[in-house]
Chain A
């Protein structure tokens, strides 16, 4: 799951996946802006076949938060 998630993030933000970790956020990744974040959420919903609630999307401050939501939605760790 982590690998697939990082692939999507890397594709949407156009950064190398080695630059991505749980602490990655708009503060430390300049390629992450308010608009392409929507694109990212959309890709994640499609790729993992889940629907995020609006409040869940608002809670995402860093990549680690996405993983927490995944656990909640039962997306398997591997």
Chain B
């Protein structure tokens, strides 16, 4: 095993982490029914490597019930952002783990009911007392049944019972769908991936009640990291792909259309499988792009005409097939798609290209792709960087939206004059108050938008939910469409009704796909119009600079706001310019 993957490395590395003022901070609590030494150390190191300052709290051994049920517990005082509750089947079942066969049927039913109610009570109490997300492990289905091979013939064998407990738990947690606070990590996924014989080490269990062996702790924590990325909104948005020996076997320029390997033979199968995984990610909202050194026509012929090509031309939001250098192409792709380099993942089989991009663009995640293509599908399915807590409608529509974007660019370069281009776009902005459908998306926008974001305040769904029901706040979002399609909900603002004279802009952001077409002016117009109707004299806004929000830096000034101390102020006696090429609708 590589050094950087084993627990000794994480334990020692954790000691060297000094508090540093990192932009991203996260408070993580661990609760468990067994020994979890090593978990928090590993997570702190993994977070630190991703530029996240992780502060942890570990509940006392097997005290999770008291920690959750007692409202004054240290857990609640710690105020975690994420709480991991690691439960295990041996603990929950007690003696029944060994002798389930001896329990009378009516007692079995009663036992399941009692246990599920205990766990539900933990969830509900936690939800009432904490703002934190709770990620709970499901129960491991035992690989051994005391019924032996007759397990499946029993009315309720131990495996069926544990599955039933899990299903009831999944069901219960779906009820928290409105605020997305409680999630289940399916522990059986971990077991089926790595195997019970590896994960459960009897010696370590007898010696120290260690239920995930020291060798597998880093792998388990890696599974949990998916939640960290998702909650912080730092998941990756775009996969940039090389073509030769990455999407198909062989080199199109040398081997030719008929001889590249795609389907029909073992090597070809591995590329088809890889493409199928990519397609699924694309359908779920991950953008795909191509960065390949090739003759454009040769490579496009494969994409358009090869019978075994899974990914089609329309799956790629941006295509760079040329003889330019790959780093320049990556920068171009980022620019054209209006996404930042740190939201991109680069797949290229050539180690030299990998190294070159790693050196030149350290914020791009370069996948350590081996020569052996049979590993590609596995590598991509094991990546945690694409996980999001809840797939929103916008995510599933993102592919077509970026395709629309590609067509917009084509129109723009055809028309030439930008104002004329805007007129021809037929942009419609629909403005609506936050509601239960848009709240998850609004939160996602605050978490993910970096460039056109005046204050970069990050809000979880429950916070947006609270704001939207508060009398002192306005939470609205905008949906933008044009002749090339619907861009979905792509902008939002939160206004604080400070007093009878003044409103303060708490949040004002627009997805970078939309910026620069007058939509931001329309949004500000809405705020001003509302303010005038309420007799408000002044609208105040702050610009909080970050590394990435330079595109929004001069926004207030451009609109005629005047600088007063740290605020930019607009006097509502003045009129705000309003772009004429946009049609505005309100959906109230």
Residue ranges of A at the interface with B (Cβ–Cβ < 8 Å): 11-12, 14, 34-36, 38-43, 46, 52, 54, 57-58
Contacts and interface: CB of A to CB of B under 8 A. Distances in A.
Interface of B is mostly: helix
A38 B204 contact: yes
Interface stretch (B179-187, B206-214, B431-439, B500-508): B206-214
A12 to B, nearest CB: 4
Contacts of A58: 207
Contacts of B210: 38
Given A14-B12, A14-B15, A39 B7 contact: yes
A35 B3 CA distance: 18
Given A14-B15, A38-B207, A39-B8, 11 more contacts: A11-B3, A35-B37, A36-B11, A38-B204, A38-B208, A39-B11, A42-B213, A43-B6, A46-B215, A54-B206, A57-B203
A43 B11 CA distance: 14
Contacts of B518: none
Interface string B291-335: 000000000000000000000000000000000000000000000
A11 B203 contact: no
A67 B53 CA distance: 41
Interface of A is mostly: helix
B38 interface: yes
A39 to B, nearest CB: 5
A34 B214 contact: no
Contacts of B15: 14
A54 B214 CA distance: 16
Given A11-B8, A14-B12, A54-B203, A42 B38 contact: no
Contacts of A42: 201, 204, 213-215
Interface in B209-224: 210, 213-215
A52 B201 CA distance: 12
B1 interface: yes
A52 B207 CA distance: 13
A43 B8 CA distance: 9
A40 B215 CA distance: 10
Interface in B429-484: none
A35 B202 CA distance: 15
Interface residues of B, number: 22
B8 A35 contact: no
A57 B38 contact: no
B8 A36 contact: yes
B208 A34 contact: yes
B214 A38 contact: yes
Given A14-B15, A36-B8, A54 B207 contact: yes
A31 B203 CA distance: 22
Contacts of A39: 6-8, 11, 38, 214
21 contacts: A12-B8, A14-B11, A14-B12, A14-B15, A35-B35, A35-B37, A35-B38, A36-B8, A38-B204, A38-B207, A38-B214, A39-B7, A39-B8, A39-B11, A39-B214, A42-B201, A42-B213, A42-B214, A52-B203, A54-B203, A54-B206
A58 to B, nearest CB: 8
B241 to A, nearest CB: 36
Contacts of B37: 35
Nearest to A41: B203
Interface in B159-208: 201-204, 206-208
The 8 A-B residue pairs with the shortest CB-CB distance in the complex, in nearest-first order:
A14-B12, A12-B8, A35-B37, A39-B214, A39-B7, A42-B214, A54-B203, A39-B8
Contacts of A52: 203
Nearest to A35: B37
A36 B1 CA distance: 17
Contacts of B214: 38-39, 42
B3 to A, nearest CB: 8
A14 B35 CA distance: 22
B208 to A, nearest CB: 6
A69 B542 CA distance: 68
B56 to A, nearest CB: 16
A41 B207 CA distance: 12
A77 B22 CA distance: 49
A36 B37 CA distance: 9
B208 A46 contact: no
Contacts of A11: 3, 8
B442 to A, nearest CB: 43
A43 B34 CA distance: 22
A35 B11 CA distance: 10
A42 B38 CA distance: 14
Contacts of B6: 39, 43
A34 B35 CA distance: 12
A34 B204 CA distance: 11
Contacts of B11: 14, 36, 39
Looking at A36, A38, A43, the one whose CB has the most chain B CB atoms below 10 A away is A38
Nearest to A54: B203
A45 B3 CA distance: 16
Nearest to A12: B8
Contacts of A54: 202-203, 206-207
Contacts of A36: 8, 11
A28 B227 CA distance: 41
